[in-house]
Copies of this chain bind each other. A is one copy, B any other.
């Protein structure tokens, strides 16, 4: 196997101590031996997704983080406010590995035929602890990349692609015909636009700046509403009426946006109402909050009748509910369209040690559209 000489692998860890100190560091862990149905993957690329950052920073105030250099690379420390500590009771003093997904070369395999078939192939993998030089994972958590696709191209094969596809699947399964997406110029949002264009689904994109609007316009988006513009509500309502979108996926979470979307849907539904209904329209309107880019409380005026729902949406429960056949279908689509629909772009590629440099943390920690980092854990391995 192509592990380093000592048979160990560097792994990025996030530790929140009971004292309120966050510590990010690289630890040496033994390289595992694959069981029958497992493969050992040398992780060559792993993105820093917004969903990773929560686990990584654990509510710490990163603006005051400090870093020191050690033999194993940088150790970063920061303070977690009292309030954040309480919410994390269950992870205190536990050293947590990070990184939802990645891609790399299969360098070892268990005895099963399925595992052996992947030897020497480049696969995308899902399953946590991907900010590691080596990861042992069951075959089902791998996606064989098409010939000629690199680990960098396949690194984001799961979280964003399956989330975007999952939104469309959820829309259909729950009886809606068009959808709304916020923070719509993100990597995920761009994928969703490509999926919807391809599948002929109307998508209302909500963005927060003219630049984001331009970006989406360029890739063919038809309905774009800027929540910072004066005409936001009328423009949103027009788009909702034109598309008939009655389900939204909201990455913002805080503030008034989720409620504004429901209000706009209600006005759109009532535009052609024949009769007064004192409980509002009978059109079911749903907003799923799947992110928390705005950490403030969620606030809404209940001016959208009684036929509405709000709730949390997460990829993993969706996949579980959708079942293995649907998941397999979605994964095959991701593999087939990896370089088109599901192409991701990164601002910068960094090693595990470079990911812990204060300037890097400041950049990807913003979680802003267009600042996306890719970790290359195998950088620095013997023979690389």
Interface residues of A (CB under 8 A from B): 54-55, 87-91, 94, 96, 253-254, 259, 270, 273, 275-279, 282, 289-290, 292, 297-303, 305-314, 316-317
Contact = CB atoms under 8 A, between A and B. Distances in A.
A233 to B, nearest CB: 12
Contacts of A270: 89-90
Contacts of A276: 88, 90-91, 94, 96
Contact of A298 (B94, B96, B292, B300): B300
Contacts of A313: 306
B310 A311 contact: yes
13 contacts: A88-B276, A90-B270, A90-B275, A90-B276, A90-B277, A94-B276, A289-B302, A292-B302, A305-B312, A307-B314, A309-B311, A310-B310, A310-B311
Given A259-B298, A306-B317, A310-B310, 4 more contacts: A94-B276, A279-B314, A297-B299, A298-B299
Contact of A311 (B277, B298, B308): B308
A91 B88 CA distance: 50
B90 A273 contact: yes
Nearest to A320: B282
A14 to B, nearest CB: 10
B317 A282 contact: yes
Nearest to A289: B302
Contacts of A54: 278
A300 B114 CA distance: 48
Contacts of A259: 297-298
A130 to B, nearest CB: 15
Contacts of A89: 270
Contacts of A298: 259, 299-300, 302
Contacts of A312: 305-309
Looking at A270, A302, A305, A306, the one whose CB has the most chain B CB atoms below 10 A away is A306
Contacts of A316: 279
Contacts of A94: 276
A308 B310 CA distance: 8
B278 A55 contact: yes
A75 to B, nearest CB: 22
A316 B305 CA distance: 13
Contacts of A292: 302
Best-surrounded residue of A259, A302, A314 (most CB of chain B within 10 A): A302
Contacts of A297: 259, 299-302
A91, A270, A276 — most chain B CB neighbours (10 Å): A276
A307 B288 CA distance: 11
A190 B336 CA distance: 59
Contacts of A91: 276, 278
A237 to B, nearest CB: 13
A90 B298 CA distance: 29
Nearest to A87: B303
A305 B317 CA distance: 13
A270 to B, nearest CB: 7
A202 B290 CA distance: 32
A292 B96 CA distance: 44
A277 B308 CA distance: 28
A306 B290 CA distance: 8
A51 to B, nearest CB: 9
Nearest to A307: B312
A93 to B, nearest CB: 11
A310 B307 contact: no
